[in-house]
Amino acid sequence: MHSNASIIQSTRLMIPVSVDSAASLIGVSNATIRNWVKAGHLTPANVRPLSFWKHEVIDLKTAIGSGALGRLRKRANKSSSGVIQIPKEYAGNQHLIKTVQRIVDTFKSEHLDLETTMFFVSLRVLELRSEVQLTASSSIHDLTSFHSWRRRSIKSEIAHWQPNLFTQTDKNGYGIIYFSIDCVEEDDFLGLVYQSLHKEGDRANKGSYYTPSSVINDSLCQQAFSGDSFLDPCCGTGNYLIRASKILHLSPDNIYGFDSDRLAIRIARLNFLLAFPAYDSTPNIKCLNTLTELATGDLLCETNHFLSSIDFIATNPPWGAYKNSSIPAHQSCGISATEGFSLFLSKSLTLLRDDGVLSFVLPESFLKIRTHRDIRSLILGNTKIVRIVKLGRQFTGVFTKAIRLDVIKAKADREWTLAIEDKGNTFFVEQSRFAENGHQSFDVNVTSQEDFLIRKIYETKHVTLSGHAEWALGIVTGNNEIHVRAQRESGMEAVIRGSDISKFLIRAPQSFIRFSPNSFQQVAREFYYRAPEKLIYKFISKSLIFAYDDRKRLTLNSANLLIPKLPEHGIKVVLAFLNSAVFQYIFMKKFSTHKVLRGDLEKLPFPVLPTDSQENIEMLVDEIISGRNRIEELEELIFSSFHLSDDEIRQVKQTVKDEQNGKA
């Protein structure tokens, strides 16, 4: 992490650990670790193989344990959970939710088999939809009791499914579930039941969270689509296919769906037939792995006709890491990341015709996380981005926010603009801006007006902390209960936590520690803590909060250290800018993270100042540290150093104020 000799910390801080080791350290599953990477909670040290710096893993563990990341703590070990959650966002009304809850309760209490349960639920749906009749007083466990099949295609689906049930099918619980279902208004009622019966951990491991119909409807309705064919490459139980049949008015023969989940495909085929009451053929919905089996380009591949042929592709792909590493290099399109959604995006572009439309629901981390740069580069180089829609948190039990990406397969010229949509508000930006950002990040929080202001700020002659600072982490004790005390004991000294830090100032410490480096899990070299002057900042924070320390105090790992060495800026001038509204504006717009990362801090622009300006700033900082309120005067000096107009100053102040009030 810190390769420069001036910023080297204790060598035992720089220990790489695997996904398995990181999961073991925190006490969560591998899938949870990978999900946290997607969400930006944990930054990889290396992508292939995926690894992390041990101290960052421990920082995250400490933050979770301290309650600083309570929502993550609730999510910890989710993938080994046996909890069954009903995805209420997937249901149309409360009656359906109650019906599904009865099914779930019986499924659990009677210890029923998942596939057999879904078989009987499907039969009941078919009966209620008048696709088949059940002889009065007959047993549902005897398939000959079902008669008067309205369509041969549906009868064939059931006939091929029944012999594959390998468990005892005459348990009373299946009958209880069958007759508890009295209506099926939801188009994908079967999908709702199937998802609800999955253990939460099973869904997390697959990265599969089925998409609410409202999200799918918007995805399909908002496209300027003209064509005949539609494909969902990871269709699950077929909700995208059902909606496409109703919204796009396509022939059923031109709608395709693929998924590697055999049971989900059985459900999708029935769902599709139910969506087309007059259709009596075999649906184009098959169980296969889109990434490794569909249109591979190999000589004997029977599905190569799908290459560059589909008019519209839409889906919510798996968000977790793809666990099958057998994708040939020529099929990966240069994508090095192992995230499922990246691989499905690149594969779908090979299936899409020129000028075809693609709409994907993705984790918000797609927009900025460094490990997703390759797929962003592929998108920027081969598509016109039509819009990015911020969807927020859409899925029960999922912490990560979602976005929707809509593109056209065509080269974008430099003037091409795309829409950013968020809660009914829309603004437009040039796609070329994304290509010019670091790691080609999609900075969707920045309007064109805000981008203009940020560019103006950076046009001021400036220096950065990159190569001009020393950095160190706070102490990781390994067990705060043993090492940290609320009252000073003999041989102990104050230790600063993140919660002790406010802008410019450190409150009277409430924690004490005996400095014994050999007994700590991780610790920086002592001279960093004992520096005559240093800055201490909150590590887990959405805001820049830096304080001055000249008392050689220790810090715990929620408080990191910075010793700036800018050639023309004293430490208190650096402190002033780091706490300023201008830097907070840049930080929230360009980086938008809950962690204050060294890499982001190194990009902040410190303007080159005349000596008298530096002296005035230092004087005001000294007075603030001594308790006088000179913040407003200090801010005015910083605004003037960037030559901002009154309107631009108001823009910065209002944006920062809105963020502080939770309106941003």
Please tell me the predicted confidence (pLDDT) of residue 456: 95
Tell me: do 271 and 395 sit in the same domain.
yes
Q: Which among 206, 225, 249 is the end of a domain?
A: 206
Residue 78: pLDDT over 70: no
Residue 353 maps to which CATH number?
3.40.50.150
Residue bearing the bigger pLDDT, 70 or 42: 42
| Same domain assignment for residues 145 and 250 | no
Q: What whole-number distance in Å separates Cα of residue 320 and Cα of residue 340?
A: 6
* 186/203 Cα distance (integer angstroms): 21
* Least confident piece of the model among 17-31, 230-244, 467-481: 17-31
596 and 539 in contact (C-beta within 8 Å)?
yes
- If asked whether residues 243 and 322 sit together in one domain, one would say yes
Class of residue 486 by CB neighbours under 10 A (exposed 0-12, middle 13-18, buried 19+): exposed
Specify if 455 maps to a domain: no
Q: Residue 622's pLDDT is what?
A: 97
The reported pLDDT for the residue numbered 201 is 40
DSSP conformation letters of 575-642: HHHHTSHHHHHHIIIII--SB--HHHHTT--EE---HHHHHHHHHHHHHHHTT---HHHHHHHHHHHT
Residue 102 confidence (pLDDT): 92
Distance of alpha carbon 578 from alpha carbon 560, whole angstroms: 14
- CA 429 to chain CA centroid, nearest Å: 23
Higher pLDDT, 107 or 30: 107
Across all residues in the chain, what is the average pLDDT?
86
Same domain, yes or no: 362 and 491: no
The whole-number pLDDT of residue 278 equals 93
Total domains, the chain: 4
Is residue 132 one of the residues assigned to a domain? yes
**Within-domain flag for 464:** no
Nearest to 589 by CA among 457, 406, 426, 419: 457
Taking residues 646-655, what's their average pLDDT? 95
Cβ-contact 294, 288 below 8 angstroms: yes
pLDDT interval class at 554 (50, 70, 90): very high
Q: Is residue 459 a part of any domain in this protein? A: no
Where does 142-301 have alpha helices with state H?
A: 152-161, 172-180, 189-197, 200-206, 213-221, 239-247, 262-275, 290-293
The pLDDT score that the predictor gives to residue 4 is: 41
- How many CA atoms are closer than 13 Å to the CA of 491, on its beta-carbon side? 5
More confident residue, 231 or 446: 231
Specify the pTM.
Answer: 0.75
Find which of 80-89, 209-218, 326-335, 610-619 is predicted with most confidence, using mean pLDDT: 610-619
276 with 188, same domain? no
513 and 608, same domain (yes or no): yes
Residue entry with tokens 């839409």: 314
Q: First-to-last CA distance in the chain?
A: 32
Number of H helices, E strands in the chain: 26, 23
Residues in the chain: 664
The answer to the question of residue 86 being in a domain is: no
pLDDT in tens, 132-166: 999 988 889 889 999 999 999 999 999 999 988 86
User: How confident is residue 463, by pLDDT bands cut at 50, 70 and 90?
Assistant: very high
Please indicate, yes or no, whether residues 163 and 266 belong to a single structural domain of this protein.
no
| 106 and 233 share one domain | no
pLDDT digits (tens, 9 = 90+) for 485-538: 999 999 999 999 999 999 999 999 899 999 999 999 999 999 999 999 999 999
Strand-pair partners of 562: 471, 535
Q: Which residues contact 589 (CB under 8 A, 6 or more apart)?
A: 443, 445, 446, 450, 454, 655
Say yes or no: 191 and 230 in one domain.
no
Beta strands, E only, 326-410: 352-363, 384-392, 402-408
- Does residue 447 lie within any of the structural domains? no
Residue with tokens 């859409």: 394
Identify the band that residue 377 occupies on the pLDDT scale cut at 50, 70 and 90.
Answer: very high
pLDDT at residue 436 above 50? yes
User: What percent of the chain shows pLDDT beyond 70?
Assistant: 86
The secondary structure of 297-314, three-state, reads CCCCCCCHHHCCCEEEEE
Do both 196 and 288 map to the same domain?
no
- What are the tokens at 440? 């080609």
Question: What is the predicted pLDDT for the residue at 49?
Answer: 75
Residue 81 has pLDDT above 70, yes or no: no
Q: Per the structure block, which two tokens stand in for 171?
A: 């348990």
Rounded Cα gap, residues 268 and 580, in angstroms: 55
Range of the structural domain that residue 599 is part of: 469-660
State the pLDDT confidence band at 371, using cuts at 50, 70 and 90. Answer: confident
Average pLDDT over residues 345-363: 96
Distance CA 270, CA 259 (A): 15
Which residues sit opposite 661 in a β-bridge?
none
At which of 422, 437, 452 does a domain end? Answer: 437
Q: Across residues 406-419, what is the average pLDDT?
A: 96
Q: Within a domain: residue 462?
A: no
Q: Are residues 275 and 372 in the same domain?
A: yes
Q: Which of 474, 384, 387, 452 is nearest to 651 (CA)?
A: 452
DSSP letter, residue 508: P
Across the range 436-442, mean pLDDT stands at 87
Last residue of a domain, one of 150, 184, 206: 206
Based on the domain organization, do 418 and 554 belong to the same domain?
A: no
Q: What is the CATH number of the domain that holds 597?
A: 3.90.220.10
Tell me if 457 is assigned to some domain.
no
Specify the CATH number for the domain of residue 67: 1.10.1660
